[in-house]
Amino acid sequence: MPLDSSLQKRHDRTAAVAASIRSASIRGKLGGAFILLLGGIFAALLSGFGVSTSHLSFITVTGALIAAVLSSWIGAVVLRTAPLAALLFSAPMAVGLVFAAISKQWWGCAALLGCMLIPFAALALYRFDQRKPDHSG
């Protein structure tokens, strides 16, 4: 009997680990899709591609900057892949930057460039943070 109990405990631990891995995988995919969608929405608003003219206002620019910081946080804390989060958020912004430059909307270009740089600046700060527990020194 003790052998069956030991095998059951091992099976339960294995099942728990597998469920945890699946949960992390699903959370990562949803987080990545959310970051990409967030970047696409604000890129469309600030550049005007896909909609009409660009909607540059205090609210849209502030929202885009907050979304850039939020995507950095989600990438670093929730997904644990800050470089991927920065790329996912900045890819639609780069496309929007091209459209804004073609239509000569320079303030849109400036806003998009700022929103593209924030996740990478946050990534650089995260990389060189001295308080991280895994940083030897």
Judged by DSSP in three states, 52 sits in coil
Helices (H), 48-105: 58-73, 82-102
The predicted model scores a pTM of 0.70
pLDDT of residue 21: 67
pLDDT of residue 2: 54
pLDDT of residue 28: 75
| 48 conformational bin, left if phi > 0, alpha if psi -120 to 50, beta if neither | left
Helices (H), 2-131: 2-47, 58-73, 82-102, 106-127
pLDDT of residue 113: 92
pLDDT of residue 74: 80
Q: What is the DSSP letter of 102?
A: H
**CA distance linking residue 38 with residue 86, whole number of Å:** 12
Positions of the chain with pLDDT under 50: 1, 135-137
Q: Which two tokens stand for residue 93?
A: 């912004």
pLDDT of residue 137: 43
